[in-house]
Amino acid sequence: MVTQHAGALAKYPARVSLVWYLAVIFLGGVLLNRPFSRRPSAEPISFVDALFTSTSAYCVTGLSVRSTGNDFNFTGQAIILALIQLGGIGIITVTTFAMVQLGNRASLRQRTVIVETLGVSDRADLRGILGHVFVATALFEACGAAVLTLRFYAAYDMALGQAAWHGVFHAISAFCNAGFGLLDDNLMRYQGDVAVNLVVGSLIMVGGIGYPVILDVYHQSRREGRGALQRLHLHSKIMLLGTAIILAISIIGFLSLESDNILEPMPWWQRGLAAYFHAVTCRTAGFNTVDVGALTDATLFLSIILMAIGAGPCSTAGGFKVSTLGVLLLAAWSRFRGAARINFFRRTISQELAGRATALIMVFGAVIIGILTAMLVIERHGVLGSGSNRRFLDLLFEVVSALGTVGLTTGITPILSDAGKLVISLAMFIGRLGPISLFVAVSLVERQQTLEYVNEEPLLG
């Protein structure tokens, strides 16, 4: 019995995450719904809006139906920030770290979830790995908060306490790829501020690259001798190369598609800065320095693709991940060349992994179709009814933004119906936990295939 129980935990750690996510989201919703979380001048926050905000914060998405800065007081903002931090690192990671520091041993359930969350070996030194994760998180967030605090205090006439709170809030929100801001225009007023754009953008990329890559780069850089880049694991190489290529394509695409639209009145250097930040934030961060609702349809569609791809596995980001796309493209390229194996950087990728990448992208696409269909039905008589010229594109953008835990919106989030908000909340939840992980978590049994029939191949293409 013990062996079977251990095997089930090792195989379905997402079940533990599912329970924790639901419990924390509900608790966050209850707290944000209470009068002590909102400003006295703000209208009462309905439980649906509170639950939506809690889901968005804990799933590090950033979609908002209420103003974080104007509707929530310091207590409410602190609750949102705590949900963001717990959602970014993972509450199981936090509780396990506390137990390990107190000298207790992590249970099998905790160790299994940590392995899946951080992408480390199940035989790894848990104390050392968790210590590195917390030190890295604290270091990046503290450095970002310090620079942002100084910038807000020196350049924007904020009191030191207000500047410090804005700096800490935006640094944690950026590293966790949450996209929550304390201003109603998000970061649009800092559109031409190089320091704010670069600091927030850097935190987004580091947080989204994934803990396995951060730890790999750290360990390889400490080893003696040359060739630290060559010694990196294949996953790290795919992530770093794929991120650089996607970022370059995104910046060029944004500059080209918006040159005669929102970028037209900007000087050349500010155009590049706006293009860089939008390309970075589409990787599931949710901050914006431009009016997303004013973008052209072509740019919105490019943004949808970027949001669906996301960033790295075992990170604070969402999407079906850069490495998944990389493996799929490498498999396709090998097929086109007639190669029997998928080789990259003197390593061979298994065909089974390529099949899993294909399945993941197909499931992700199927979930988008299902949720989008539900939203089109729910919102057909609402504010986004048939009279809206971009109703389909706006809803598609909203759904992919939620499922990819991005948080960008064309402006329709606050005007969604209660049913629409609940569906988008479900999309954020699925996106953070992962479509396949969620399906595995709610499955009751594993069906064993005992029969193998004669092979027969249908026609393709």
Q: How far is CA 178 from the centre of its chain?
A: 7
Averaged pLDDT, groups of 10, the chain, 461 residues long? 46 66 92 94 93 94 91 96 88 56 56 60 65 86 96 92 96 93 91 95 91 84 71 88 94 94 92 95 89 93 94 84 92 87 87 87 93 91 60 92 92 90 93 68 54 69 59
Q: What integer pLDDT is reported at residue 432 of this predicted model?
A: 84
Other beta carbons within 10 angstroms of residue 402's beta carbon come to 34
Q: What integer pLDDT is reported at residue 435 of this predicted model?
A: 62
Beta-strand (E) ranges in 144-185?
A: none
Q: What integer pLDDT is reported at residue 379 of this predicted model?
A: 85
Q: What integer pLDDT is reported at residue 3 of this predicted model?
A: 46
Contact 112, 6 (CB under 8 A): no
Other beta carbons within 10 angstroms of residue 109's beta carbon come to 17
What are the b/e assignments for 57-96, b being 16+ CB within 10 Å?
A: bbbbbbbbbbebeebbbeebbebbbbbbbbbbbbbbbeeb
User: How many angstroms separate the most distant Cα atoms in the chain?
Assistant: 75
Could you tell me the pTM of the whole model? 0.88
Q: What integer pLDDT is reported at residue 423 of this predicted model?
A: 95
Q: What integer pLDDT is reported at residue 19 of this predicted model?
A: 79
The CA distance from 307 to 407, in Å, is 9
Q: What integer pLDDT is reported at residue 317 of this predicted model?
A: 82
Phi, psi of 347 (to 5 degrees): -135, 150
Q: What integer pLDDT is reported at residue 109 of this predicted model?
A: 57
Q: What integer pLDDT is reported at residue 95 of this predicted model?
A: 55
Compute the chain's Rg from CA coordinates: 22
Sign, CA torsion 233/236/239/242 = negative
DSSP string, 37-59: GB-TTSPPPPHHHHHHHHHHHHT
The CA distance from 174 to 204, in Å, is 5
